[in-house]
Amino acid sequence: MQKTRVRRFGALLVGLALVAAACGDDEETTDTAAPTTEAAATETTEAAAPETTEAAAPETTEAMAEGGDLEGFKGTTPLTPLGDDFKARLLEVDPDLVDFNYAAEGYDLTLIIALAAAKAGDDGIAYASEIQGITRDGEKCTDFATCMAIIDAGGDPDYDGYSGPITLNGVGDPMEASYGVLTMGADNRIDDELTEFLPAKGADSADVAAVPVEGTRAGDGVLRIGTLLPVTGSLAFLGPPEIAGVNLAILEINEGGGVLGKPVELVEGDSGDTPEFANATVDRLLGETVDAVVGAAASGISLSVIDKITGAGIVHFSPANTSDKLTTYADKGLYFRVAPPDLLQGAAIAKLVADDGATNVAIIARNDAYGTGLAEVVQSTLEAAGITVSVVKIYEPDAGTFDAEVNEIVAAGPDAVVVIGFEESSKILRTMVENGAGPRDVAVYGCDGNIGNGLGESYDSNS
């Protein structure tokens, strides 16, 4: 019988405050230590909800897009200010990048895997026990060469990366985070000049002891990293930056001498959109004897393959999973992530909504572990701050239309709408625009699953 892990964020404290307001993402990475005020305690000002009547569905659902339909749409994504040098290196790997979402996370976790294997002197399961330690309680370092020099000298590195201090706790969750608050401009693309940064930090009680690693898998002396990232599917817009981050890290690791005296090998795989597709990819990766699987981007996909990966004694490390279900999952001490759990992001979104003065909020979220979990946190945090959540609509992501859900939202007359979804969010937003509830009409907020230039491209292409 598999031993159940005791993993709780029950007393999580969320400290949130906007910093670096109205600055683009061209700055050097900054410290993301957060203040210790609770997001739920945010004071809100009264804002009268606009008078609305239930909007009749338009005669046609094929209205042509007008420039700026998404102007003002804002959302959160794990992000620190990225320096020009790092972005230039990513663009050398993939010149076609249009977003950098989760690129830093993909880069950082790849370095952490490599450093942990070097510290353990083994690419087998033993290196998993070194992963938390690479991110904390040692000698600070910010690049592979410096961290390796510390290891070679018999020391203990504490890697701080492009995605922040990281600082993994004993269940593989980051204790610190930084959210970028991204805003769409008049061209339906992110306006970098409006980007703000929102630090967050877990409570001290969340810093639990490391869960013992279970398993005996031996290594063969060559560190192989497999990717389970979205080349296709509704999160395909996140794939390029994540893949570029992993590829850049491996390139720089190998230029620095590799790990265990040999180059790190990469085996690429597509997570797709379904558990069946992802499981087929994982079977192939395991058949190629990978020592770690990077991915998936979607929490639901990771939950569908985690038992297969960890059951084989393989490290499962995601750059983008945020579902709180993964915090308490029995994973043999082999699952890790650098993206903060939704308990933090939900509070960050709620703070944005509250600070903007909303009094009547509608939430529409996709029906999966990510969507329902994040919606629950946003709702509870808003209600704790005294803000009315008048409607919560859970939708099926593969639905052909979202007219019924949007009509119910319009009928509630909200002054703010939170859209929690992936690529299908562009269809939802189009339906909202057609029904007088788009970002030009009410305040509309997104999340890491949809905020990005890819959303604007999808919206414009479906005009």
Query: What distance in Å separates the CA atoms of residue 142 and residue 132, rounded to the nearest whole number?
Result: 16
Are residues 156 and 303 located together in one domain of the fold?
yes
Are residues 398 and 435 located together in one domain of the fold?
yes
Long-range contacts at 153-160 (CB < 8 A, ≥ 24 apart): 156/119, 157/115, 157/119, 158/134, 159/108, 159/111, 159/112, 159/115, 159/134, 159/135
Q: Which domain-ending residue is among 323, 339, 355?
A: 339
Domain CATH for 288: 3.40.50.2300
Are residues 111 and 139 located together in one domain of the fold?
yes
Are residues 140 and 235 located together in one domain of the fold?
yes
CA 153 to chain centre: 35
Query: Does a structural domain hold residue 97?
Result: no
Query: Does a structural domain hold residue 33?
Result: no
Range of the domain at 267: 102-171+208-339
| Nearest residue to 99 via CA among 336, 460, 339, 450 | 450
Query: What distance in Å separates the CA atoms of residue 115 and residue 142, rounded to the nearest whole number?
Result: 12
Are residues 427 and 325 located together in one domain of the fold?
no
| Nearest residue to 451 via CA among 71, 18, 130, 73 | 73
pLDDT tens per residue, the chain (463 residues)?
Answer: 333 333 222 323 344 544 433 333 333 333 333 323 333 333 333 333 333 333 333 333 333 345 599 999 999 998 888 999 999 999 999 999 988 989 999 999 999 999 999 999 999 999 999 999 999 999 999 999 999 999 999 999 999 999 989 999 999 999 988 899 999 999 999 999 999 998 888 778 889 999 999 999 999 999 999 999 999 998 898 999 999 999 999 999 999 999 999 999 999 999 999 999 999 999 999 999 999 999 999 999 999 999 999 999 999 999 999 888 999 999 999 999 999 888 889 999 999 999 999 999 999 999 998 999 999 999 999 999 999 999 999 999 999 899 999 999 999 999 999 999 999 999 999 999 999 999 999 999 999 999 999 999 999 987 6
Are residues 261 and 299 located together in one domain of the fold?
yes
Are residues 113 and 226 located together in one domain of the fold?
yes
